[in-house]
Amino acid sequence: MDPMRFEIIHRTRYDYDDPVSYLIQLLRVTPRSGAGQNVVNWSIAAPTRLQQQIDAFGNRTHIMTITQPIQHLEVSVQGVVEIAEDASSHRFKADGLSPLVYTQATRYTQADVALTELANELLNFGKPTENDLFNLMNGIYSGIQYVTGSTNVSTTASESFAQGMGVCQDHAHAFIACCHAVGVPARYVSGYLNTGDVGHVASHAWVDVYTPNHDWLSLDITHQCVTDGRHCRLAIGRDYDSAAPVRGSRFGGGMERLDAHVFVSAQYDVQQ
């Protein structure tokens, strides 16, 4: 099956009540080839020169530093990515780092008693079958109802599971927390999801989990599926904090208003 070819445009604008005297941001908004996708081209437009580097997880990152006073900031990314439709292309071998790197719990993915009990019940005390991983995906989805605005970027897996509500970030964190509780490698993936609405994609989060077959399998907990041609990967990490598309700090500015829009056009890539 020919891959889907997506042309993605992501524009983000910040407006500040007062001048910002200094700003630094780490951008993880450049996808890389592999894991079921091929980056044809990609570019970033920013008001200052960007410093490019590869982080510890292999993500392509850019550091943006602004030292002149501003009250408006706009960053745009644009590119073309081919994504395999076949779900079998969204499982893959280890990619440099040992999977054991992704067994360490973080502030977001530290399992409490409830998540540990769920992990032991569904993941066979750390010796899960692949079917057990799918059962955990369904268990997290059932335990955390998707409710927009019910959590924020600082909510932990235990907190969202306890309140029974969350968003895709919380689904991913809770799944990872359960895996880590019994020693199964799992990691956070940030990216885009083609929602099916014409011309629109959404920022999204899902997971990679290391299977008994010694490969990575990408699971979208929120949509209860193996990832497919709708999913474009941007970055991986132990949690949201290490895979978030944008992280940074600033001096000044007062209140901030954020306006972000993502556009996409999609077609099958016909091979000649």
Task: Examine the domain organization and report whether 259 and 184 are in the same domain.
Answer: no
Q: What is the DSSP letter of 143?
A: H
Cα dihedral sign, 259-265-269-272: negative
Alpha-carbon distances, residue 104 vs 9, 95, 124, 218 (angstroms)? 34, 18, 19, 19
Residue numbers of the domain that contains 60: 4-84+245-268
For helices 168-181 and 130-143, angle between their N-to-C axes, nearest 10 degrees: 130
What's the pTM? 0.93
Task: Examine the domain organization and report whether 203 and 225 are in the same domain.
Answer: yes
Q: Tokens standing for 237? A: 């990490």
Kindly give the pairing relationship between strand 145-146 and strand 165-166: parallel
Task: Examine the domain organization and report whether 34 and 139 are in the same domain.
Answer: no
Number of domains making up the chain: 2
Residue from 125, 219, 224, 143 nearest 176 by CA: 219
**Residue 85 confidence (pLDDT):** 83
**Residue 86 confidence (pLDDT):** 78
Task: Examine the domain organization and report whether 239 and 249 are in the same domain.
Answer: no
**Residue 100 confidence (pLDDT):** 95
Listed in sequence order, the residues at least 6 apart from 166 whose beta carbon sits closer than 8 Å to its beta carbon are 144, 145, 146, 147, 150, 151, 155, 160, 174
Task: Examine the domain organization and report whether 239 and 250 are in the same domain.
Answer: no
pLDDT tens by residue, 106-134: 999 999 999 999 999 999 988 899 999 99
For helices 130-143 and 113-122, angle between their N-to-C axes, nearest 10 degrees: 140
**Residue 1 confidence (pLDDT):** 66
Task: Examine the domain organization and report whether 173 and 125 are in the same domain.
Answer: yes
**Residue 179 confidence (pLDDT):** 98
Task: Examine the domain organization and report whether 107 and 238 are in the same domain.
Answer: yes
Distance from C-alpha of 41 to C-alpha of 20, rounded to nearest angstrom: 32
Alpha-carbon distances, residue 59 vs 15, 162, 233 (angstroms)? 28, 32, 10
Query: What pLDDT band is residue 270 in, cutting at 50, 70 and 90?
Result: very low
Distance from C-alpha of 174 to C-alpha of 193, rounded to nearest angstrom: 20
* 142 vs 3: which has the higher pLDDT: 142
pLDDT tens by residue, 137-146: 999 999 999 9
**Residue 41 confidence (pLDDT):** 96
Task: Examine the domain organization and report whether 141 and 253 are in the same domain.
Answer: no
Distance from C-alpha of 144 to C-alpha of 109, rounded to nearest angstrom: 15
Task: Examine the domain organization and report whether 34 and 143 are in the same domain.
Answer: no
Q: Tokens standing for 93? A: 């071998």
Instruction: Centre a 10 Å sphere on the Cβ of residue 242 and count the other Cβ atoms it contains.
Output: 20
Supply the CATH number for residue 100's domain. Answer: 3.10.620.30
Distance from C-alpha of 200 to C-alpha of 230, rounded to nearest angstrom: 11
Task: Examine the domain organization and report whether 219 and 264 are in the same domain.
Answer: no
Supply the CATH number for residue 65's domain. Answer: 2.60.40.2250
Q: Can you give the length of the chain in residues?
A: 272
Task: Examine the domain organization and report whether 254 and 234 are in the same domain.
Answer: no
Task: Examine the domain organization and report whether 104 and 181 are in the same domain.
Answer: yes
Task: Give exposure, 190-225, as e/b (b: 16+ Cβ within 10 Å).
Answer: bbbbbeeeeeebebbbbbbbbbeeeebbbbbbbbeb
